[in-house]
Amino acid sequence: MEATWATTSAGIIITVIVAVIWAWRMLNWFWLRPKRLERLLREQGLKGNPYRVLVGDLMDIRKMQKEVMSKPINLSDDIVPRAFSHVQHSVNKHGKNSFIWMGPIPRVTLTDPELIKDVLNKNYDFPKPNIVNPLVKLLATGLANHEGEKWSKHRRIINPAFNLEKLKIMLPIFFKSCNDLISKWEGMLSLDGSCEMDVWPFLQNLARDVISRAAFGSSYEEGRRIFELQKEQTELTIKVAMKAYVPGWRFVPNSTHRRMKQIYRDLNASLKGMINKKEKAMKAGEATKNDLLGILLESNHKEVQEQGNSKNVGLNLEDIIDECKLFYFAGQETTSVLLVWTMVLLSRYPDWQARARDEVLQVFGNNKPDFDRLSHLKIVTMILYEVLRFYPPVLGLTRTVHKDMKLGNLTLPAGVEVSIPIVLVHHDCELWGNDAKEFNPERFSEGVLKATNGRVSFLPFGWGPRICIGQNFSMLEAKMALSLILHRFSFELSPAYAHAPISVITLQPQYGAHIILRKVEL
């Protein structure tokens, strides 16, 4: 009896201790630590809203996003109030030295190029934030989210796939997909040689077709289901990410959670089948190694052979599946948004459209675009850079602080995040001059270094060691597509066009891009 009583008492004591520890950790997570971080930031002159338990500024951010998405804006390139309203609101209210509460985590806004350079150069000291909500990880991880040695290994193995010589080999793929689009548009022209359409879905399909062919040697039709699933997963991920994360909530079997997990399983099964099929064909000598997946598998095999076939060498099947998801997601998102905003801006600035067309006709004539000629497109390159400045695909970058760090005059305590608002930096008159809000590709006439005066103020693909590995791929594809479009068509905005840039992972036209195409008579 006494033994039973003692056992019961010990069990109760252990339960109480566990409950107290858990309660303390929860209290520290949602109240004590945020309040300590707030005090440390305010002592350094940083300003922001007072901390609100769990939600921070998330409720305000959602409200602003809902409001700006309710209607388009006037035709203007000052897109920040609509596309990045909560960050601009914070800077307007509290100044450039300010912070925003992302739930219980304060996020310090950085706009000084020297501080940005410091953060992006020291990628080991300022890593990407851990994805706290496991549901968000279901969208895509891969190289973009790895840190430390794992990031170094993945980058080393994937690099050969984006080598410039390999990209040159892929140019016929770019041409085939772009030419198919041109033929499709020509078939839609009316008798007077014009046609009004929303070019946005066509450009999305183009980018998807290119990445499908370039990454997997298949056409967009074969990858359609993967793209549709990725698109749905993106929308669900945004919905989940905008809610304050509560530990354990992911286990609640609501419809959103169930659907996200089902999409994850379906995507993995489809990609696993494609990878196994590719590996089998390569071993039999029946498949080319010039697509991204083939190059990745070959590079991975070489790594394993050189380093030894131990547990941590090379990429396993799950790693390769994650990288394939990233190929699909990043490969089509970046280029499609670059092309759509380029067409919108050249519709608004016909003089620049004419200059670009003249250059294309002069450089190519009736010849098929090749790498050397694409490299001679100075005006087209200037235009693409200015579009990337005005409408960067990703509006901002976030990094985290795991240990107390000195950054300029700031001492950032462990537990805070830093935000680099790319779109604010790109539109800053102090950095770009009084014409910062005007479309002026001429500013890039002598290259990016001259345009930025050597400062880290132009970062559409990021900057530093973690600069986007696919930037050359995206720029080559955009040059190819734009050259062929300019060669065959002139274009202007349709009266149906509604200007509504909105961030859906990347910066997209909420209501599409309605444009009038006209056949160019050469």
Element (H, E) at 66: helix 58-68
The reported pLDDT for the residue numbered 501 is: 96
Residue 352 CB-half CA count within 13 A: 23
Provide CB contacts within 8 A for 515, sequence distance 6+.
196, 197, 198, 199, 343, 344, 347, 491, 492, 493, 494, 497
Q: What is the pLDDT of residue 179?
A: 96
Task: Check residue 394 and report its DSSP letter.
Answer: S
* CA dist., res. 517 & res. 193, Å (int): 8
Rounded Cα gap, residues 342 and 356, in angstroms: 11
Order of all β-strands in the sheet with 514-519: 194-198, 514-519, 489-493
Confirm if 118 and 408 have CB atoms less than 8 A apart.
Answer: yes
Q: Cα(32)–Cα(50) distance, rounded to whole angstroms?
A: 14
How far is the first Cα of the chain from the last one, in angstroms, to the nearest whole number? 102
Q: What is the CA radius of gyration of the chain?
A: 25
pTM of the model: 0.91
Cα 74–chain centre separation: 26
The confidence score (pLDDT) of residue 240 equals 75
Cβ count within 10 A of residue 370: 14
Beta-ladder partners of 177:
none
User: For residue 245, what pLDDT is reported?
Assistant: 57
- Helix and strand totals (H; E) in the chain: 20, 11
What is 189-233 written as a DSSP string?
Answer: --TTSEEEEEHHHHHHHHHHHHHHHHHHS--HHHHHHHHHHHHHH
d(CA 419, CA 82): 18
Question: What interhelical angle do 317-348 and 199-216 show, nearest 10?
Answer: 150
Please give the chain's pLDDT, 522 residues, in tens: 555 666 667 778 888 888 888 888 888 888 999 999 999 999 999 999 999 998 999 999 989 989 988 999 999 888 999 999 999 999 999 999 899 999 999 999 999 999 999 999 999 999 988 765 566 666 667 777 878 888 898 899 888 888 888 889 889 989 999 999 999 999 999 999 999 999 999 999 999 889 888 887 765 566 777 878 888 887 887 777 766 555 555 556 788 888 888 988 898 888 888 888 888 888 877 666 678 888 888 888 888 887 766 667 888 888 888 888 887 777 788 999 999 999 999 999 999 999 999 999 999 988 888 999 999 999 999 999 999 999 999 999 999 999 999 999 999 999 999 999 999 999 999 999 999 999 999 999 999 999 999 999 999 999 999 999 999 999 999 999 999 999 999 999 999 999 999 998 899 999 999 999 999 976
